[in-house]
Structure 1
């Protein structure tokens, strides 16, 4: 990898309310599955600490599931409920803070992405707004209003616990075809009550979650909300096909209490709409006035989907275009996934212009917590 232009803008401080970061680099949430029975151990704490020690401004944990019988899709993803799991997370927070870092949990429910065969001992069925999989197949009954209220309370409890055990904020996972996103997407939300209808109507569940989280954590605890246009079954899907539709979609979420939007794309450099070079984070910042996090193949020459479709790794590339966009204020923070998964010192090497020491990403990196 050739030397990039001055990367100093990536290492300028950032502040949003009480969230004060030493750099603009965010560790993106990446499911790792190294928490047996949902409990993160010392190996998980060490994994996050190593990034905090190396100039990562904010760590967003892998998805952690709320307290609901059908919240998880895999056995070894971490829980965000129960005494043992929360003690494990409290240890993670201590390790990250001792290293000078900041950390928020990503709270999550997978909805109809839960596969029954992975949990043969459990009778917990997948759930979703209309009981439909992402491909439109019925897998369960539509959620009742009472069940929806219980789920909202589950998110709020997770956020309250995050604040209680010392996290620096919370991220709500509303992307990638999971439960909240299943309410957003017309293909999976066929409801005719107050939780369905047009695009704004389909934001109601998320709005109630955000409002309940805000009530649980108070006015100053940072809330990050992650969303995506794309879905695992359709990378070209658009919740909002135009800037006008995106504004309609974002307005109720912003008003409900989101402090920072995390705008998930596969390639950060791609324009979101014709006629403008702004990416999804750029448009979201323009439309809401809120700070945004961009993400998508930062520092690498191929998107993450090639890893699963073709088993390919990725080579390092320069950050010139990224830094230029950050400097002109298109977005505020930059989430880095595989490059940081592969190399805990990635950010420090960038900061110290040691780009010749960067490691190419290899699929084998998924097999351990380096």
Structure 2
């Protein structure tokens, strides 16, 4: 299909654009791969050649340097990025593109929910599946965001449910945006999750475990996960800041702040441009745990003898955060149980003493009278 032919009034691109729900879909958007001055749309082929034969595009969004986020980790972001990140909403799926040559799609059969958020400076579309959350910041056509989210949700409601884990599908001729773990890695991560009869949060998935596995010990078991933007550390020389005396705030500059609640501690990972800031709080050091479920933010607060950790938890929901609080309190109680020392008797068992007594009697060391007296005492103990 020629670039200009497809844009003609009676061409297929114009027909698709005319039938679209949003004005963001134009014949130019569907057919162009490079624009003057502006960044590339796609390097591989135009959007119209990605569509299935009977697929109808409905809304189109892009951003230049924020990329596409999967559980808070961005692909195609950065001020030096040369390619736009794209999102095309069709009647069958949501297509995502990054770096000009990477693309994947999310069929509606695997979507749980679609959300939109528009502000004075930021606007984004969020697609939630069973395994991950995908976010696309929008640079234009913000007035279509709410309609696009409502349309996706209506298509989700009409679609048949499926048990597919990730909801991602490859797009021919495009590289994968996100690599799926192989069976061995998935098995290893699943082994870190508790047994079926032990507490476990619904927010814990293999995909999310990948984000924090590097800060775990080899045999550490994960019961719960949280995700937020900040962790405040208060006390013991934390430092003076806008957030209070002797209190400092750590924010993730390369992704979300994640806390992991394991069988032995609460660990926090704060992704930074030059590495990670990691905090570890064993249950034996925690004196109390509290939960703040305010209108704006939800926070877990861990009190230790030296410092207090205020961990923002945008995810999971309030019910699971209450489960986390109860779980930590139980672990605190276990960690502070006094050690029970079993009495170690140095006296041999009566039968053993009786055998030794007989040996001594046979050797003539113990007289007949002594043997009978001791034998009678030991038999009474048996």
Q: More strand by proportion, 1 or 2?
A: 2
Larger relative contact order (CA 8 Å, sep ≥ 6): 1
Q: TM-score range by the shorter chain?
A: under 0.3
TM-score, normalization by structure 2: 0.23
Q: More helix by proportion, 1 or 2?
A: 1
TM-score, normalization by structure 1: 0.24
Return the index of the structure with the highest Cα Rg. 2
